[in-house]
Structures are given as structure tokens and as C-alpha cells.
Structure 1
Amino acid sequence: MNPKTILAFRPLSVTLLTVATYIAILGVLLYIHLVPPPVASRGELDSWGVDFDAAWQDLRVLTAEFRPYNARRNDDVRDYLLNRIEDIVKRNIDRGYKGVVRVVDDNETNITFTDERLNGLTVYFEGTNIIVYVVGTNPGLSPVLVNAHYDSVSTGYGATDDGMATVSVLQVIQAFTNPDRKQIQRGLIALLNNGEEDYLNGARAWAAHPLSNLSHTFLNLEGAGAGGRATLFRSTDAEVTKWYKHSKHPFGCVASGDGFKKGLVKSQTDYKVFTENLGMRGLDVAFWEPRSRYHTQDDDAKHTSKESLWHMLGTSLQTLAAATSDTTRRFDSEYGPPAGQGHTGVWFDLFGRAFAVLYLHTLFALTITLIVVPVIIMAVTMYFLYSANKLYYFSNTPLVPQPPDYSNLPHTTQGWRGLLRFPVAFVLATAAAIGMAFLIHKVNPMIAYSSQYTVWAMFLTLWWCVAWFVLRGADANTVRPTALGRGYAFIEQWLLWWVVMVVVAVSIDRAQLASGYWVLVTYTGVFLAAWISVLELVGLPPKNVTALLVSRASSDIGDDHAEEATEETPLFRGLGRPSTFGGYNRGAEEGEEEFQPPSGVFGKEQAWSEDLPTWVWIPQFLLAVPMPLIFTTSVALLLSSAINQTGADGTSMLFFYLLVAVFTTCILLPGSPFYHRISWIVTLSLFAVCIVTLIYNLSAFPFSDLFRLKVYFQQSINLETGKGEAYLVGHSDFVEGIVRDYIPSAFGKEVTSIPDPVRLGLKRTSWDAPPPAVVPGVEPSKWVHVQIFRLSETQIRFVIAPKESRNCKILFESPISDIVIQDRESKSVGQPVPPQGSMEVRLWSRQWDGKWTVNVKGEKEMKGKVVCMWADANDAHVTIPALWEVERFLPRWAVASKLSDGLVEGWWEWAV
């Protein structure tokens, strides 16, 4: 095969390169997204001094039962962790570690705090944190904090939330006290906090501990999913993010951090306390998918992997090694600006191997530069082409003289052809994708819960097919053939991305959002491809020369001295041109025309296009497709996996489908100028995929054994009467049917459904369930002993003593202005009572069967409720039979999670 033919802009070459590029890049990105890297070799593990097998065994111990703060199993886990830490430190000291290690069993820190955003809530909490301080060799450097929480929710075993982080911290302690490694210069504080699942109480207790003043930087390890890779969730600034660059398998991008900034992510981690309460700088690393297992019994060792554990542990070791060896003083508050300040960063990984970090102001400068400079470059280039009479774009220069009437040949350069093809294709394809978003949301809105990749396949193939059918009109043998179709598409697409760049610049300047970093890559590639399309016109003759050639050919035809013209007489005799006029030969019969393109002209495109270079499409493709595809798809996959299952939490799924529609457009748009040269066989195959996935997405049941719908359980009981009800909160299309059809105690009974007052967008379905027995052998009226005394006209005292619980709360119908927890040493974080007063006081004790004495000041007449919570579901068949019944008889495609702090709430009304 002729090498020129292989490189030419022809269907076979374009089809092969396009298909190979999309399959290769999308396949690699999906693999990296779904499959965590392998566990390190034995040699690498030994070099760190970690015992990976022991870490996996620790995870099994932690996840044997539920371990919420308000369950006795929580104390067992705490004792286990303390013993493991003491064994690790003692063993390494015996082996020759010379450094100083302090182990703090914190059973003393009590805190009272509030938050104005909590709308009048005061929390009293008694901490039970475990602290290990590995002192560095340079006492002038502040230590780095690494944090995980060892409690779980009451309905989850917590393998990734936060068991793997907890065992990773154990191995970090082992590695950084390893006598075979050089002692760290900047110290390390390892914190295992208790109570994160209940409004980050453990981290708030740490904020009141004296050691918290030593550290100004942190690495927080979390789990908001249940496996896969641990991603860099968010970061305070670029300087600390550079530590993460040392990870061998970095993963994540700044878009997740911006999601927290804009409130798109509702849940929080201890990162919030470290940054807002302590002014620290640091990183938040977490598992983030699949959310369907988050806070459920499916978050266990069986549903995760050793590879996931190593990804978090390995990343932690490598990041902390960089942090503790950083001897600069920029993270120490006594030098320069406060420790909580830094430069806003932009960060992202490439194929899970490389990691880029730059400053947001650098991104802004690049954005402005790319908005201004390419416009100047393009304007100057077009001016010189216009001056040289070679600007075939936007031209319809008449040929002088006109071709013979009988020839049916074009009478102009036809430079306007192809101008509107790309805009029409873009509008129709994008409109089709947006319309599909509304259709799926209307018919089967939750299908993305279990089938997000079939949804992606449907959107991608739909956009491709619609765009291809329109752009195919630029093919040389169909509607208005033109050699300028690719160039027009790139120029117009560049102008479209220019508008997007302005939006990105505004978002950086006004909102400090860096998520649009990938737009710069796409914009740059598209601009360069558009510029090449303009530059290739340099190879064409001036438009007046084209007319002169035609004129000379016409003169030859009318020469009296020439031999009699026949069908074989060359029209371009003296110029060495083909024996045709614009690529046409007279037909065998009078009036017929047969199209024979000149060499280098594709199909019926303009005859002058034979002078265009045939290979320039290759650099255009390489600039416009691969890198934009990598950057855009990486962001799209991360965001898609983060929100495709949020419909179970009450979020409208329309946002997800519109997001997919937008990113589908962004993924396929840069390659669209090549579509008209791609074989119809490819598009026919994709059309078949589109139809199949469309039928599936519209009709398939949205949940499965692997991706189960979360429903939220709670049972409420009046402690005076012993009467109460259980309820499930869940998606309005399914939760009532689940209760009616699957829960035995609800069969044939009245079932009540109302919009849930707490989880907006969900429905609460209640029924008369088997009563709880959270205090075995004791009737409900004796589960909590409550005494109320009036101390003065506006002051009252509560004495609350629950059984088998260490969590209660007092609700007030009118706000109180002062709170004092008696007989407890407590430190305030913020103000115990917000300016508008408190409507609720939450009480947490580290003791079982203890009591709280609470003095409050309010109005002369006060009333409300005392509510105590029970959250131990390890023996649910005995203590909470309604929950056991739900877990036992839920359909295979549904799973239970906790609704709030307590699985059972026992309440008692009061008035004084």
C-alpha cells in the first residue's frame, strides 16, 4: 500500500486510528478506575518494616461485629487497639529503636460545643481517643498528625469506614518506630479517635487535648465508600499536596474538593474539625465508592480486598515519609503566616501513576493567557492568508471565466461549504443527550444505581450516532462536499471552548474553583488543531491563480489554431494539468458528466483541494483527541462514581443524568471533526449498542445483589406507655412496597407513609413492629431514670441515668440560654450555647449505666422530651427484633442502614 494513502485523510486510516485511540484510552482509564494496584512485594514491605498480613488480620478483628460508640463492642475494640499499639512500640524498642514514643490513653478529655449551623444544638461528649506521639529528631519542627476513627456506624462493620484506615495507622506506627529505618526529623502524632460517626465528636475531643496544639499539618484517612482505590478527597493547599506526590499510586483530582466547597457532598469527615477548629493544613484521603455499601453490613472484609488496603496503607506511608522529612518552616505557625494558610492548589493524577500539583493563581494566569493569545495568533494568521489571497474559508470567489455551461461544474471556490455542519451536529447531538437525560429520569430514574456504565454507553453512543449522521453530510460523495469541513469544525469548536474558558476563568477568580483545569487541555488541543487547519491553506495557490488556470484552460478550448477538440483533448495543455476541467470528463453521451477527481482530491470535494497536504489530520488528531480524552474522562469517572447512588439519599437523579450528558459531549466533541471520515460500520455497531442499552436502561430493575438500595431504620418507643413504631426511610418509589410486601410484622396491618422530615426527598413508612428489648428483662418504663428539679424561677436540673446506653438528649420547645454539665471536667469548643439559644442538648458518656446532671436556664415554663438512644445491633434478634426482621426479610436488592444516632429511641415527655 502506498504510504501516502495510509497517511491520507481517508476512511480506513481515520477509522482505525479513531477506534484504536478511544478503545485504548477508555479501557485503560476504566481499568485504573476499577482495579486497585497490587500489594507491594515482600521486599518493599520489609523495607518499610510493616507486617501486611498482621494488618489484614487486624481488619478481621475490627470488623467481626458492629462497633459504634454506643455499643459495648466499641470498648473491646479500643482495648484491642491499645494492646496492639503497646506491643508494636515495645517490640521495636526492644529491637533497638532509640527515639521517644508516647502512648496516651485519653479517658479524660470532656468537651461541650455547639455550632450555629446546627440550629440551636449543644453537644456534651466524653472522649476515649488513643494518641501515639513519635517524637522527631528536630524539636523545632511541628509534628504531622495522621488520623483515623475506630468506631463504626450501628449498621455497618466498617471495613473501609474506617477499619482499613485504623489498621493503616497501626502499621504507620510500626514503620516509623522501625529501628532499621532512619528516625524521622519532623515528629508524627497518630490519632485513633472514637465518635466520628456522631458529628465528628472524636476529632472535636482531640481539638481540646493539649497535644493538638503541637501539630499544624495532618493526613486524615477515611472511608465514604467500600473498596477500590483510596482517593485524595480534598486538600487545604498546594504545599501540603506536594507530599502526596510521593505516592507510587496517586489517585484523585481537585474536582472532589470543589464538590465539598460547593456543598454538593453533604457528608463530612474529621478534616472539617482539623481545618475549621484548629486551623491546620492537610489532606483528606478516603475510599469513595460504591456508596451502596457505605454504612451497611456490606462494608465488611468480604467486600473489600487486600489491594484496597495496601493502596491506603502504601499511600499513607509514602505521603507521611515526605511530610516528616520536610524540614522547611512554612508549616509552623511561629514562622510567616498562620499554619492554616497556604496557596490554593490544583491537583490531579495521570493513569494512577503520576501526580501534578500547581497553584490556583498559576492556573488562572494560564487560563487568561490561553483566552487572549490564541485569538491574536489566529487573527494574525488569517490576516496574512487574506493578504495573500489564500483565505479559502468564508469565501465564494467566482471563477473567471466561468466554466462552460454544458459542464455543470462549480462556478466559485465554494469556500462557504461546511460552515454550518458542525454547529448543527453539536446542537442536535447535545440536545439528544439532554433529552435522553430527562427521559431516563422520567421512566427509570434509579437505573444508574446499579448500571452507571450502561448509562454511559447509551449516552456516548447516542451522541456519536447523531453527530455522525449530520457530519456525514460533509462526506465527499453526499451533500455539498467540501474539503473545509474538518477545518470549519475545529475553528467553530475552538470558539465554543473559548466561551467555556471564560466561564472557567470566572469560576477561578470569583469562587476559587479549580475543577475546570481539564478544559485548558481540551481548549489547547482544539485550538492547535484549528490553527493547523488555517495554516494548511498556505499550500494552496492564491484564489486569483485558481481563476487564471481556469481562464487559460478556457482559452485553450477556444483557440482557432488548435487542433479540433475531442473528448480526449487536454483542457490544461500548457500547464501540465489533467485532461479534465475541475475533475469532470464529458460523458459517453451528449449532456452526461462523469466525475473523475484529480489526484489528491477526495470524492467530489473542490478540485483545488488536491494541493492541500493529505497528512495534517494526523497531528490534528493527536493534539485534539488523546490528551483531552484522558483528562475529561478521568474527571467524569470520578464524579460519576461519587454521585450515581446518591438517589437513595433523596437527591434528584436528574442532576446525575445531566452531568453525564454534559461530559459525554465534552468527551466526544474534540474528535467530532473526524467523524465524517469514519466508516458507517462503526456507527452502525454503536447504534446497535445505543438501542440495546436504551431498552435496558428504560426497563431494567435498578438494583441488584451487588448494588443494593439503602433504606434507613429506626424504632421509637414511648417509655411511659411502652407503645411505639418502627419505620423505614427510603426512596419514595420503593420503601412503602418493601414494608408492605416483605416485612412480616407489617403484613395485613396499617402502614403509614409521609415525607421524611429529616432526610428531604425520601419517604418515611411506619408500622407496628415487635417491641425492642434493649435492656433485657426490664420493662421500658425503667430503661431510663429521669429526675427534674426546679432550682430557681428560670433554672431547672435534669438527672438522667439510662441503662445499657451512653447517649441521651434533651429536647426543648423553647430555647435555653445556659447549660452546665455538673460533676464533669469539661472544656468548651466554641460556645456551649449559640446566640439564639439551644433547642437540643446531646449527651455522650464514656461510662455505662452512669448518669448526667444537667443544669439549664430558660423561660419560667418549659417543656420538651428526654430521649435516650440504643445503637447496639450485634444481638438484634434479641434486643431489636424489628431491625433483625428487616435485615432478615428485606428483598435481596435492599439493605438496611441507620437513620440517626440511635437505632432505638426511647422518649419521655416532661414539663415544669
Structure 2
Amino acid sequence: MAEASRDESSSLRSSQSRTNPFVKLVRSTFGYRKTSLTFFILLTFLFTFLTSHYDNDLESSVPLPTNGLEQESLEYAWKALQVIGRYQHPYGSPSNDFVHDSLESSIKEAIASKKYAEYDNDLNYTNNILYRFPAGSNVVHYYESNNLVVRINGTDPSLPALLLSSHYDSVPTSFGITDDGVGVASMLGLLHYYTHHSTKQPLRTIVLNFNNDEEFGLYGASSFLNHPFFKDIAYFLNLEGTGAGGKAFLFRGTDYGIVNHFKKVRYPYGNSIFQQGFDNGLIHSETDFKIYKENGGIRGLDVAFYKPRDIYHTTRDDIRHTGIKSLWHMLSIALDFTEGLQTEIDLDVEAPEESNDFALYFSFFNHFVAFSTSKIVLVNTILLVLVPLISIPFLVVIFQYKHNWNLSFVNVLKFPLSFVLSILALDIFVDVAVVSQNPFIANSSVVLLVFTSLAVFLLVNYVILNGINWVFKSYNVINHDEKLIVNIEISILTWLALIYSTYKLSTNRIGDDHTGELPVTILFVLQSIGSLLGLIGWSFKQGKHDVSKDDESSQPLLDGQRTYGTQEGESNDELDTSIGNDDTSSLSFEHPLPESKFRSYDWSIQFLFIVPLSSLIIYNSGYLILDGLNKSIQESLKAEKLIYLFLQLFVIIWSIPFLPFIFKFNRIIIALLLVFSVTGALLVQNSDAFDINNPLKLRFIQTVDLNSSTQSHVKVLGRIDSPMRAVLNDIPSVKNSGQTVSCSDVGDGLEECSYKSDLAPAFGEKHNFTTDLIDIHVVKNSTANNDYPFGLLSAEIKIHVPKNRMCNLRFNFSESNSIFASLINTDAPVKTFIWYNDKKQGNGTEKHADTLAIPEGFSVDKDGNYVYRLHDGINALNLNKLDWDKDYHLGFQWLPDLVATGSNEFDSELILKLGIQTECFWADLNPLVIDGKAASHVPALEELVHYSPVYVSWANRDRGLVSASKYIEI
């Protein structure tokens, strides 16, 4: 018998030696060898990085136009962008007028010979607005619009019009190139496309809204809702920038119907995971999309640049930090989307209820895919039921009929235990080795953090899993498939995640949005396919005959024992010979089968189904989020915690597809993981969080309280423990004056540092930073002569502020009564606000309409004055006017307040006086004269910009760079 066995073994070896070389190559490549697995893993990472880079890279995925008219329109738009970005041009600056006038000139020239195009300028004062914002607040805004509105009338007036919108103002510290010069230039390019060298009138009417003052209240879009052109609009495309450079990204859409039409764009780029972030308040920027959707009730898309955030709103948002390809990407989106909506579309006749379906979408290699939430909920529900129904019969066959798969409690429990312990270890690593050592490192080295954390997480899993195998080696039995057990357990985990995601999608709403969770569905499908393939393999594997406990095939096998089917000199840890078996111990059979029956190839099929595509989806989604959010670490402690939490989630989820195969990681992979872990940890602790490419963003304002002195203070806002204090202490005016920079905690990981400055701003026409900068004249005051001691009190004032467009007013009851312990009336004091229209009213002495008869909300009285009544009361006014020299002529009505003065509720006193804190802003950092118009300049900020290290960038803290405040009581 032994002789026969030797003959059979000799015959087997002889058969091996005659194996075709190609067959040998296939076996060595796809057999479950550690070297094969290493090759597959390295190939997967290479595939993931290269594919993601190509998809996200502007240069490789967006070619410049070859069409003559498109080339001409792009060149026209680029020239316009150079003009737009010549100066910082916030609403409260003469340079804003310069941009307005340049745009107006270009628009008039473009439509001069087109009878089907018309233009309207809000400077005729027909579109001023007075409104409450945000809804439910006690803040009222007055805004004088100078939007530039173009209407290209379509040949079919029955089709609802399409709006394209962008804003031409910038923040005070920015040249406004990507926020939002590129959007404005793209609209000019589109206007050029439809009005030059083409007599083709569009079928659908196109309206272009070049709006102003988006940055500090979304004012231009809000005022446009009152424009006569708005009533015919059903759809919009908002072009914006919340970062600088790169590709223009589809952030969000109002509904699935309009989002689905984004597939008409030739270079689509977007992912609804950002939409989820916006809707859930994780992204703190806002755009005009909010106004058009929520207040205007129309359907549309929000397309914007999103990175890098550290350039956003700083002096580095200039022409040098963008390129003509970024402009072309946004312009091509505007052209393609507009052209795609020229014919009648399903949205024109769609039932209203169908517009309420949210969209889940993503782009890949310039292809765009969108699904409605209702369809995904249906698909998910089917998958949640179908996958278990398919899987359970195979498990029954394997365990009830085949009896060919041995399971133990240890083998089932070890992966969940390892997974949980590795998560805890990763959290400790990030907290101890990263956050406590270099908390802002995510600002500059987020990729380093990702790979270091990934290496740590995989290494800890490997050590725990193989440690458990070593400790409980007596429980290792034959016919045991560790990778399939882990695959099934991960499938269960993704099944539970899909249940949660499906439930949330079925009740999806703003504030609890889950439209970015489409990858959960895809990952569940891939994981389920891999598990089913393994179960199918075991179901068709030959059943095991009963053996006694003394049978060697039922006993634990020693490490290093030769496995049947191995080549001579090939160790069993290099090749697993059991179908579906990845245990490194050898197998013993009474009747060994031919070598081909022992070879295991199901692992490679499982790997190829699960790992490469899962890795790409997870990495690409995680990359987009971290690339868009990591700079927000400078904005707050809350943002810092969110970034590091997401970093860990990203690493954990990205590791999951690889974990079933972690038992077969060889020395090369383990060595690489160890090197990445140690080297990465050292680099994290010793790398600079801020450098010239990843600057520290500090926010500036210069203030003076005119009630106390004429001494101005520079105030700078930044993160606690950042280099901000060192930067400020090294500024010449600080050192030369011998003063100390004073810093105070303002909450959420931020601090405000301030110092006195003798560098007074200049306002262009002999106006100094003195006590007469804000002059408040009380025209009428009912408390002076007790006109209405038991009813509404009223007052009328004029505020004279030279060369100014923006002031805020805050109300409280008289500071002289601050000794009173408690307020009985807790409403905001002012019930009525009046903006006097001096052009119609005259000198302010006439008797005006009785405001008591005016209903709540916005009204215009018989003299043309703007009136806003609010029962809840008004505690703040934000005022924006266009005339630089016109006074703020305002009226108020308020109820007196009763305050307790003792323990008895009848011990009280009536407060009649109203306290008004006025703060006015100037928003320039320009030469004193711009094309003949006076401007201001801010020497204190100029000094900071000049003397700060290269790793610092400067942004504005408020509506202006300079503010002056004054308090009065009426």
C-alpha cells in the first residue's frame, strides 16, 4: 500500500514537471500565495491612486476647446477675468463700482446689435429691498441693488426661462478671482457665445444675473427675486467659488429631475457627498443657491470651485492662483447645461410632486450618474431582502449536507474583536501621536496622515488576528476558510449600514440628508458578491466523510508540514491547496486528489470583485471630502474634531476590503506597514503645519470706539495655539511701541488678539479717524417731550458717515438702566423700522403715514418710505446703500420696557430710552484713487501683509477692514 502511494506521488510529481509553462504562470499568479496577494494589493493601490488622480486632475481630464467660437468666447472671458481681478472689490468700495461699470460696458457692447437681448440696471432704485433674514431671526436688512441683469429672449415664450447667476463682489481682502470672478467671466463668455458670430436665437429664454453683495448676506440674489425678469424663470445654474482653483464641482441640486440633466455637460464633476455636507451644516459657507431654492422656489444646481480653502477669501485669491483651464471648465459647464436645456424637457411638464425627490449622484472619468432617492430606496430594499435569501440556502447546503466546513467560536469571534480593538488603537494613535503633538498638521499633510493611519490600522489588525491564531492554534482545523468568514462578517456589517442608510433616505430632509451615501449600496453589492462566490465554491466542494477523533485529518496540523500539491521546495505558507482554504497549516487526506483539485483560485475572483473597485470608491470619496475640509481646521475646534473623526472613519472604511486577506500578508507588506507607521508618526510630529503652500489664515479688522477715544485697535482672529501671537509680536509697530499683544479666548478653539495702532486708515478726501467720523443727528424723539409715554415711542435720526455704504445698528434699552436686575419684557425692543426715501419725502418734516395701520412685514407707505414691522421685535439692522455721501435717514418705533427693581414684582420702573449701537464699515485695501474715484487704504493691514512670514495669509474678519462705532440713546 505504501509502495502504491509512493508510485502515485511520483506520478504526481512527474505530471507537475510536464505542466505547460503558461499553466504554471497562471497557477503561480492566481494561486493563493502570499507573493500573489502582495502583487494584487500593490497593483490595487497603484490602480486606486492613478485612477483617482486622473479623475480629479484638471490638466488630464479637461482639454481646452477646439471649436472656434468656444475658443473665442474663452479668450473673451479670460480678458474679462483679468479686469475683474484688478483690485479687491467688495460692495463697500469704489473698486466695486469699477467692476460694475466694466461689466456694464461689456454687456451693452455684446447685446447692442441683438434685438432679442435686453439689459436692466438696478441703479434706477426700483429694486431696493427691506427684509428679515435669516427667517425667524430678529435681524432686518436694507439693501440697494445694482445687479446687472441680461435677458436673451427665446423663440418659444411658452418654455420657462433658465437663470444663470454669479456675483461680482469680493470680500475686502480678496481679488475675487475664483470667488466669484470665474463665475462672472463664464457668464460673459456665454453671453459672447450667444451674441457674437451667431444669429441663432435660443429656443428657451436665458436670463443672466450678475449680482452684487453676495458675500455678506446673499443680497444680490435676494433682490433679484423682486425683479420683473424673475417671474418667468423655472431653472437656475449658480456659478460660485468656495475655494480657489482646480475643477468646478457640482455641489448640490434642488432635486433629482434637474440634477439628471447635468449629464448633458461634457466634463461633469461632482458628488452628492458634498450635497449631504451642505444640507447637514458641515460646510459653513453659503451661496446664492440657498436664495433661489428656498426663497425663490425654483429648481437648479450649485457649481463651484472648492479647494484650497486656505486661499479662499484671502489676498491669494488672485489671477496667479488660477488658470485658463479652470475658467474653461466652468464656462464649458455653463455652455453645455444651457445648450442641453434649449429644447423642451421633461421638467417643463413634470408633476410638481416629482420635483421633491432628492438626487444621489457622482461623476467618473467625465461620465455622470444620478439616481433619485425613491429609486435607491427601492433598490436597497430589494438588496436587503434578496442577498440573505440567496446566501442562506448555500449555508444550509454547506453545513447540513456537505459537512465540509468546520467552524469554531474563536474563528468567528476573532475578526470582530480585532476590528474593535484596532479602532480603539487608531483613536489612541491619532489622539496621542497626532493631535496632542501637532494638532494643525492636517492643514498641510493630510495625505501623510491618511497613509500613516492606514498603516497603523492594518498593522494592528494583522498583529491581533495572527496573535489570536497563534494563541488558539489548537483550534485551527482543516476545511477552514478565514477570508470567507471575514467576508461574510463584513457583508453583515454593510447590510446593517445599508438598513440605516435606506431608512434615512426614505425620510430624507434638509438637516438630516443622506444623499451622499450611495457608496454604501455599491460596497454592499461588491461585498455580497465576494461572499456568495465563496459560498458557491464551498457548496460544490466534495463532502467530508466522518472520521474519528483519532483520525489525523481531524486533528490540528503542525506549522511547516508539507501540503499536497506544492511544488518541490515550496513552503505551505506560500500556497494554499484547499479550495476556499487560507489556513497555513497543511491538509491530510486518505485519498489525495490530483494537484489541480487542490489549487485554490476562488480568492483571486473574490479579491478582484471586492477590493479594487471598493478601494477606488472609498478612496475617491474620502479624498474629495478631506481635500475640501482639511483647511477648515483653522476655523474652529469643532471643525478640527470633525476632520480627525472623518480621517479615522476614512481609514477604517478604506481598510475593510483588504481585511479578509490580511492573514496572507507577507513580509514585504508587513515591513512596508511598519515603515509607514514609524516614519509617518515621526514626520507628523516634526512637519510644519503651515507653509507657503498651506498658509495660516488670520482674520483682520481695525476698529475704533468713538465714544471712548480716537485710538484704533487692530484685532486679529485665529486658532488658539497657532503661531498667531508670534506673528503679531514680530510686527514693527508692535515692537517699536513696546506694547504687548493682548489675546482672549472667544470660544470654539478661537482667540482674538489685539493691539493699539497709530496707523490710521485714510479715506481719500481729508477724512481722518476722528470722533466726527460718525455724526448722528436726532431729528425727532418722542421721549424728549413724553409724546407717547404709554404707547409706542418713536424717533427719527440721520447718520452722516463719509464715503460709506455699510452700517450695522444694534438695539438695547438704555445703558443707564443697566442696574436693574431683570427684564419683564424680553422681546427685541424695536417693533417698526423706517427707511426714509428722501428723494420723495423732502426735508423730513412732513407727517408720515400712520405705521400702526401697516401690517407685519415689509410695506411702502404713501411717501415711498420703506417700512418693516415685526411683532417679535427687531434687535439688529444691516444697512447697505449705494450713494457714498447720502445720510442714513432712519426711523424707529419701540415699546417702553418695564424692569424689576426689587423683590416685589410691583417694584419696577418704566424704561423709555432706546440704546443704539452704530457700527460702520469701510472695505478697501487699494490705492487712494481708482479711475478718479476716492478709495481708502489701510496701513495697519498693509504692514501685516508686508512683514508677516510667507506661511501667513490674511483675510477679513467682518464686512470691512475698518470699523468705527458710536453709541447713543434716544
Cα deviation 1:623-660 (Å, max 9, x = unaligned):
21122222222221121122211121114312211211
Q: What residue in structure 1 maps to residue 744 of structure 2?
A: 754
The answer to whether the 8 A contact 1:136-1:188 is kept is: yes
Sort the Cα spacing of 1:40 and 1:828 in 2 relative to 1 into closer, same or farther, 3 A: farther
* Residue type of the alignment partner of 2:376: L
Q: What residue in structure 1 maps to residue 132 of structure 2?
A: 114
Per-residue deviation, 1:144: 0.4
Q: What residue in structure 2 maps to residue 865 of structure 1?
A: 917
Q: What residue in structure 1 maps to residue 609 of structure 2?
A: 623
Cα deviation 1:217-273 (Å, max 9, x = unaligned):
100000000111111111111111122112222112111111121111112100111
Out of 244, 250, 255, the residue aligned to residue 268 of structure 2 is 250
C-alpha separation in 1, matches of 2:613 and 2:253: 25
Sort the Cα spacing of 1:38 and 1:382 in 2 relative to 1 into closer, same or farther, 3 A: closer
Sort the Cα spacing of 1:391 and 1:372 in 2 relative to 1 into closer, same or farther, 3 A: farther
Q: What residue in structure 2 maps to residue 399 of structure 1?
A: none
* Residue type of the alignment partner of 1:712: R
Sort the Cα spacing of 1:424 and 1:381 in 2 relative to 1 into closer, same or farther, 3 A: same
Sort the Cα spacing of 1:246 and 1:683 in 2 relative to 1 into closer, same or farther, 3 A: farther
**What TM-score, normalized to structure 1?**
0.87
C-alpha separation in 2, matches of 1:841 and 1:825: 22
Q: What residue in structure 2 maps to residue 337 of structure 1?
A: 352
Out of 864, 872, 875, the residue aligned to residue 839 of structure 1 is 875
Q: What residue in structure 1 maps to residue 714 of structure 2?
A: 726
C-alpha separation in 2, matches of 1:781 and 1:753: 26
Q: What residue in structure 1 maps to residue 50 of structure 2?
A: 27
* Residue type of the alignment partner of 2:358: T
Per-residue deviation, 1:58: 1.5
C-alpha separation in 1, matches of 2:873 and 2:154: 45
The answer to whether the 8 A contact 2:563-2:586 is kept is: no
RMSD, matched Cα: 3.2
1:207 paired with 2:205, answer: no
Q: What residue in structure 1 maps to residue 426 of structure 2?
A: 433
Per-residue deviation, 1:839: 1.3
Q: What residue in structure 2 maps to residue 691 of structure 1?
A: 678
Sort the Cα spacing of 1:861 and 1:904 in 2 relative to 1 into closer, same or farther, 3 A: same
The answer to whether the 8 A contact 1:222-1:284 is kept is: yes
Cα deviation 1:391-438 (Å, max 9, x = unaligned):
5143xxxxxxxxxxxxxxxxxxxx667333422332233222222232
The answer to whether the 8 A contact 1:475-1:481 is kept is: no
Per-residue deviation, 1:118: 7.2
Sort the Cα spacing of 1:782 and 1:490 in 2 relative to 1 into closer, same or farther, 3 A: same
Aligned residues: 845
Q: What residue in structure 2 maps to residue 457 of structure 1?
A: 451
Q: What residue in structure 2 maps to residue 677 of structure 1?
A: 664
Sort the Cα spacing of 1:870 and 1:390 in 2 relative to 1 into closer, same or farther, 3 A: same
Sort the Cα spacing of 1:383 and 1:595 in 2 relative to 1 into closer, same or farther, 3 A: closer
C-alpha separation in 1, matches of 2:745 and 2:72: 50
What's the secondary structure of 1:273's corresponding residue? helix
Per-residue deviation, 1:701: 2.1
Per-residue deviation, 1:697: 1.1
1:124 paired with 2:142, answer: yes
Per-residue deviation, 1:120: 1.8
Q: What residue in structure 1 maps to residue 120 of structure 2?
A: 104
1:447 paired with 2:441, answer: yes
Q: What residue in structure 2 maps to residue 644 of structure 1?
A: 630
Q: What residue in structure 1 maps to residue 651 of structure 2?
A: 664
What's the secondary structure of 1:896's corresponding residue? strand
The answer to whether the 8 A contact 2:697-2:952 is kept is: yes
Q: What residue in structure 2 maps to residue 604 of structure 1?
A: 585
Q: Which runs of 5+ in 1 are unaligned?
A: 395-414, 555-579, 585-593
C-alpha separation in 2, matches of 1:434 and 1:884: 43
Q: What residue in structure 2 maps to residue 381 of structure 1?
A: 394
Per-residue deviation, 1:606: 3.7
The answer to whether the 8 A contact 2:834-2:892 is kept is: yes
Sort the Cα spacing of 1:87 and 1:15 in 2 relative to 1 into closer, same or farther, 3 A: same
- Comparing 248-257 and 149-158, the one that deviates more: 248-257
* Residue type of the alignment partner of 1:713: F
Cα deviation 1:343-397 (Å, max 9, x = unaligned):
211111123x111111101111122222222112111211123332335143xxx
* Residue type of the alignment partner of 1:786: I
Q: What residue in structure 1 maps to residue 11 of structure 2?
A: none
Q: What residue in structure 2 maps to residue 73 of structure 1?
A: 95
Cα deviation 1:317-343 (Å, max 9, x = unaligned):
111211233444x347xx74289x432
1:88 paired with 2:88, answer: no
Out of 779, 782, 788, the residue aligned to residue 778 of structure 2 is 788
Sort the Cα spacing of 1:616 and 1:338 in 2 relative to 1 into closer, same or farther, 3 A: closer
Taking the TM superposition and a 5 Å limit, the aligned residue runs for 1:743-892 are 743-747=731-735, 748-756=738-746, 760-776=748-764, 777-779=766-768, 780-792=770-782, 793=788, 794-814=793-813, 815-823=829-837, 828=858, 832-858=868-894, 859=896, 860-875=912-927, 879-892=937-950
Taking the TM superposition and a 5 Å limit, the aligned residue runs for 1:394-409 are 394=407
* Residue type of the alignment partner of 1:536: G
Q: What residue in structure 1 maps to residue 907 of structure 2?
A: none
Taking the TM superposition and a 5 Å limit, the aligned residue runs for 1:530-679 are 530-544=531-545, 603-607=584-588, 611=597, 614-652=600-638, 653-679=640-666
Taking the TM superposition and a 5 Å limit, the aligned residue runs for 1:149-160 are 149-160=167-178
Sort the Cα spacing of 1:336 and 1:422 in 2 relative to 1 into closer, same or farther, 3 A: closer
The answer to whether the 8 A contact 2:552-2:588 is kept is: no
1:227 paired with 2:245, answer: yes
Taking the TM superposition and a 5 Å limit, the aligned residue runs for 1:2-401 are 2=24, 3-37=26-60, 40-44=63-67, 46-48=68-70, 50-90=72-112, 93=113, 100-107=116-123, 108=125, 109-115=127-133, 119-180=137-198, 182-328=200-346, 330-331=347-348, 336-337=351-352, 341-351=355-365, 353-394=366-407
C-alpha separation in 1, matches of 2:293 and 2:692: 39
Per-residue deviation, 1:734: 2.5
What's the secondary structure of 1:730's corresponding residue? strand
Cα deviation 1:44-78 (Å, max 9, x = unaligned):
3x254742222222211111110001110111111
Per-residue deviation, 1:679: 2.4
What's the secondary structure of 1:290's corresponding residue? coil
What's the secondary structure of 1:685's corresponding residue? helix
Sort the Cα spacing of 1:289 and 1:177 in 2 relative to 1 into closer, same or farther, 3 A: same
Sort the Cα spacing of 1:323 and 1:581 in 2 relative to 1 into closer, same or farther, 3 A: closer
- Comparing 880-889 and 715-724, the one that deviates more: 715-724
* Residue type of the alignment partner of 2:381: I
The answer to whether the 8 A contact 2:80-2:185 is kept is: yes
Sort the Cα spacing of 1:581 and 1:85 in 2 relative to 1 into closer, same or farther, 3 A: closer
C-alpha separation in 1, matches of 2:413 and 2:680: 31
State the percentage of identical aligned residues: 23
The answer to whether the 8 A contact 2:118-2:151 is kept is: yes
Per-residue deviation, 1:836: 2.1
Cα deviation 1:519-572 (Å, max 9, x = unaligned):
111111111111222221134322236779969999xxxxxxxxxxxxxxxxxx
Sort the Cα spacing of 1:37 and 1:774 in 2 relative to 1 into closer, same or farther, 3 A: farther
The answer to whether the 8 A contact 2:701-2:956 is kept is: yes
C-alpha separation in 2, matches of 1:230 and 1:552: 63
Q: What residue in structure 1 maps to residue 489 of structure 2?
A: 492
* Residue type of the alignment partner of 1:700: S
The answer to whether the 8 A contact 2:767-2:802 is kept is: no
What's the secondary structure of 2:683's corresponding residue? helix
Q: What residue in structure 2 maps to residue 717 of structure 1?
A: 704
C-alpha separation in 2, matches of 1:118 and 1:544: 75
Q: Which runs of 5+ in 2 are unaligned?
A: 1-20, 556-560, 566-571, 783-787, 814-828, 841-856, 860-865, 897-911, 929-934
- Comparing 429-438 and 726-735, the one that deviates more: 429-438
